[in-house]
Amino acid sequence: MSINITLLVVSGILMACGVYLLLERSLTRVLLGIVLMGNGANLLLLTAGGAPGLAPIYQEGVASTAYSDPLPQALVLTAIVITFAVTAFVLALIYRGWVLARQDDVADDAEDIRVAEQPHFDFEEDSEVPIETTEFTEGAETLINHPAEAEETPGRVRVRNESKDGGSAQ
């Protein structure tokens, strides 16, 4: 089996141009990127399928290497259907964006900008860790603030009582 380098290079160029266009803010360019990537994928699949041969229908006296592989063709048909569906969806997005805002570009959302400017919060790093979490130590007690936390805390638990003068008693 020989590989056609020209078709592989063309497939790579189509995929690279498609990725470049996908990174744009214009939905029309995103649509063109999707179409280019779909065609590049189809070309890659057909090139990987090998040289053309006979139709994959059994005939007596024909060697098995003379038939063409039907799997790449089935994959290309599936890729064509998926590309059509995604193209139709992006066309609907372009139409709806044009009807609502009379523009093709995807603008920054004010809420997204506000969330991106907030300091980072990591639940595991920023949450309070109980003093003692193991249940295998004898005599160890865990001091908690509310009786509802007692069911979730392993081991012996003692609830912290708040006194009226503002101090805490144990």
Query: With bands split at pLDDT 50, 70 and 90, how would you rate the model's confidence at 77?
Result: very high
* Residue 63, SS3 per DSSP: coil
Nearest to 36 by CA among 102, 95, 83: 83
What pLDDT, in 10s, does the model give residues 33-68?
999 999 999 999 988 887 778 887 888 888 888 888
Pairing of strands 156-159, 141-144: parallel
pLDDT at 142: 65
Helices (H), the chain: 5-22, 27-48, 70-101, 110-117, 123-126
Identify whether the C-beta of residue 54 lies closer than 8 Å to the C-beta of residue 117.
no
Residue 148 lies in a domain: no
**How many angstroms separate the CA atoms of 103 and 107, rounded?**
9
Residue 168 has pLDDT above 50, yes or no: no
Beta-bridge mates of residue 26: 105
Residue 32 falls within a domain, yes or no? yes
Main-chain dihedrals φ then ψ at residue 158, nearest 5 degrees: -130, 135
- The tally of domains found in the chain comes to 1
What's the domain range around 25? 5-53+68-112
pLDDT for res 157: 65
Q: What is the pLDDT of residue 140?
A: 60
Within a domain: 30: yes
Q: Any residues with CB less than 8 A from the CB of 82 and at least 6 apart, and which? A: 38
The per-residue pLDDT of the chain, averaged, comes to 81
Residue 158 resides in a domain:
no
CATH value at residue 34: 1.10.287.3510
Decide if 20 is inside a domain.
yes
* pLDDT of res. 38: 93
Residue 116 is which amino acid? A
Residue 136 has pLDDT above 70, yes or no: no
119 found inside a domain: no
Q: Which residue has the higher pLDDT, 121 or 29?
A: 29
Q: ∠92-93-98 over CA atoms, to 5°?
A: 100
Q: What is the pTM of this model?
A: 0.59
Q: Does residue 117 lie within any of the structural domains?
A: no
pLDDT at position 170 is 43
> Does 87 reside within a domain?
yes
Question: d(Cα 54, Cα 40) in Å, to the nearest integer?
Answer: 25
Buried b (16+ CB within 10 A) or exposed e, 112-129: eeeeeeeeeeeeeeeeee
**Contact (Cβ atoms closer than 8 angstroms) between residue 30 and residue 24:** yes
